[in-house]
Structure 1
Amino acid sequence: MGYTVGQVSAFAGVTVRTLHHYDKAGLLSPGERSHAGYRRYDDADLARLQQILFYRELGFTLEEIAEILADPQANALEHLRARQRQLAQEIGRLQRLAEVAEQAIEVQQTGVSLTPEERFDVFGDISFDLSYAVDAQLRWRDSAGHREAMSRAGAHTVEDWRRLMAEAATWRAELLAVHDDGEPADGQRAMDVAEEHRLHVTRWFTPCPPQMHRRIADDFAADPRAFALVVPPSQQRPDLAAYLARAVHANASRHMHTEEPLVRSTDENPDHDGRIAR
């Protein structure tokens, strides 16, 4: 007698409309008809439907399924292997997305805990790109320095951030002046500006030896999102990030030839009372 469309729809878990679509596409045409002309599915049809649903679950298109079912011996294994590779890639992509989401949550939890009004008051034109923060978290998550920087940033008070940003603004003005005066990146003034930034990072975030400072500066030169954290786009020059990176590298090389402090240390800075270094 066979099975009606409604019966097949009920026990196969697909809609009647889907079965009609499969019929119209020539993918699953019932082998029988009732006296009244209604579709009747026999056991062979149900076996074919099971195959169709299996391949659909794996993500194959109806065109691909039709090709497989047309010559299953010749095509099924090849298609399944190709789909297995695609699924493995998709699993990897989803795992990376899950990791990014987890890290984004961590960034939000350990980041700057200020209200929107406080953020605007403290940071002004300095932009904070969450996508960059997530990328940095993924890249440096195993770094003790990065973890310390995130922890100390999260612990800063509003007043801490005001002091930090005022110091950063003074440094930024020095950087722009040195650059615009045409000073060479490996000259004394440019290297002193680079050294001030290194000590700024140490005071407010994490100890920053010259080699770490080089990596930070290289990131500034390679990623506009990173450089926007220290110089807002409205104040940038076309070659400023690269100029700063060259100055940082020159300053790091200078450190290799001297053990004497190049500028005043934190303890010698009368504008820093030491309580901020948590």
Structure 2
Amino acid sequence: MGYPVGKVAAWSGVTVRTLHHYDEIGLLSPGGRTGAGYRSYSDEDLDRLQRILCYRELGFGLDAIAKIVDDPGIDALEHLRRQRELLEGRIGELTRMVESVDRVITAKEVGGALTPEEKFEVFGEFHEPEGYAEQAVRRWGDTPQWREAAVPLSKEEWIEAEKVRQDWVRRLLDVVDSGAPADSDRAMDLAEEHRRMLAAFMGECGYPMHREVAGMYATEPVQLGFLVRAPDQRPGIGEYIRDAVHANAARAGER
């Protein structure tokens, strides 16, 4: 049974002109002609077209597709298996791309949850650096903690979170200004409280993760600024927090 070019074009989603081009370059020459001389495609031609379109969708050029579909060492079933394998790889790639975009969208939504006026009301003069959301996605986006993070979205939630941060910082400064060492009970208790604060946000914050986060306070001023605002910072306070976190982990038996 033969199928006219118009019907094949409608079934396959390509134009008649494309089918004519495939015929002209020898990629897909229909097996028959009607009495009036029009192209007539067989079931075998349709199978070949399916393979061509699948490889084209996977990004192969027409010259490469011609070599693949004309390979005498690959039968129709093997073509299907190969296409399935390639499609699975493409699906995995696209899934990773979608997840990456979703993470950026989430970061942008969190950053845009408050109006500029509300941000000033909650955070005062403090604001995150330009492009920080994308940087955070690159650093943390593939972690379970990022996927499970319970980020405040409403103004009221941000206000409450900011109150918790301010209270913790006030008590930290009291300890620092008293001269107590980073491995003192008071400093370690604050470190443990900070770990639990992070866990409430992340869903989980074990001691290794806590040490990793605290290490950034000592080496990355931007990260330290999220926890302790610049006017409240003391010389070496990032290192103090890091050391208190390490001491607290050791106290808990985590080396």
- Give 2:39's aligned residue: 41
Displacement after TM superposition at 1:204 (Å)? 8.7
Counting aligned pairs with the same residue, the percent is 27
**Mapped partners of 1:65, 1:103: distance in 2:** 36
Point out where structure 1 has 5 or more consecutive residues left out of the alignment: 257-278
Displacement after TM superposition at 1:83 (Å)? 3.4
Q: 2:100–2:141: 8 Å Cα contact kept in structure 1? A: no
- Give 1:268's aligned residue: none
Displacement after TM superposition at 1:120 (Å)? 3.7
**Mapped partners of 1:112, 1:215: distance in 2:** 27
Displacement after TM superposition at 1:15 (Å)? 0.8
**Mapped partners of 1:68, 1:189: distance in 2:** 66
Quickly say closer, same or farther: Cα 1:138–1:9, change in 2 above 3 A.
same
- Give 1:248's aligned residue: 245
1:140 corresponds to which of 131, 141, 145: 145
SS of the counterpart of 1:231? helix
- Give 1:188's aligned residue: 181
The residue type equivalent to 2:89 in the other structure is Q
**CA deviation map 1:168-213 (0-9, x unaligned):** 65578789x89xxxx9xxx9247665643432454697499xx834
Quickly say closer, same or farther: Cα 1:89–1:173, change in 2 above 3 A.
farther
Displacement after TM superposition at 1:253 (Å)? 1.7
1:70 aligns with 2:70: yes
**Mapped partners of 1:204, 1:222: distance in 2:** 14
Which TM-score applies when normalising by structure 2? 0.57
Of the structure 1 ranges 127-136 and 84-93, higher mean CA displacement relative to structure 2 is found in 127-136
CA RMSD of aligned residues (A): 5.6
The residue type equivalent to 1:188 in the other structure is P
**Mapped partners of 2:166, 2:111: distance in 1:** 19
Higher relative contact order (CA 8 A, sep 6+): 1
SS of the counterpart of 1:129? helix
Quickly say closer, same or farther: Cα 1:223–1:102, change in 2 above 3 A.
farther
1:215 aligns with 2:209: yes
Q: 1:22–1:28: 8 Å Cα contact kept in structure 2? A: yes
Displacement after TM superposition at 1:242 (Å)? 7.6
Q: 2:107–2:137: 8 Å Cα contact kept in structure 1? A: yes
Q: 1:23–1:30: 8 Å Cα contact kept in structure 2? A: yes
Point out where structure 2 has 5 or more consecutive residues left out of the alignment: none
2:225 corresponds to which of 227, 231, 234: 231
- Give 1:125's aligned residue: 127
Quickly say closer, same or farther: Cα 1:155–1:113, change in 2 above 3 A.
same
Q: 1:112–1:153: 8 Å Cα contact kept in structure 2? A: no
The residue type equivalent to 2:67 in the other structure is E
Aligned length: 234
Quickly say closer, same or farther: Cα 1:152–1:199, change in 2 above 3 A.
farther
Q: 2:217–2:238: 8 Å Cα contact kept in structure 1? A: no
**CA deviation map 1:24-80 (0-9, x unaligned):** 432124567799xx9632445x63244123441353533343113323444766654
Quickly say closer, same or farther: Cα 1:160–1:221, change in 2 above 3 A.
same
**Mapped partners of 1:231, 1:41: distance in 2:** 71
Q: 2:188–2:248: 8 Å Cα contact kept in structure 1? A: yes
**Mapped partners of 1:137, 1:3: distance in 2:** 50
Quickly say closer, same or farther: Cα 1:80–1:140, change in 2 above 3 A.
same
Q: 1:201–1:207: 8 Å Cα contact kept in structure 2? A: no
SS of the counterpart of 2:14? coil
1:52 corresponds to which of 49, 53, 66: 49
Quickly say closer, same or farther: Cα 1:141–1:27, change in 2 above 3 A.
same
Quickly say closer, same or farther: Cα 1:4–1:103, change in 2 above 3 A.
closer
Which TM-score applies when normalising by structure 1? 0.53
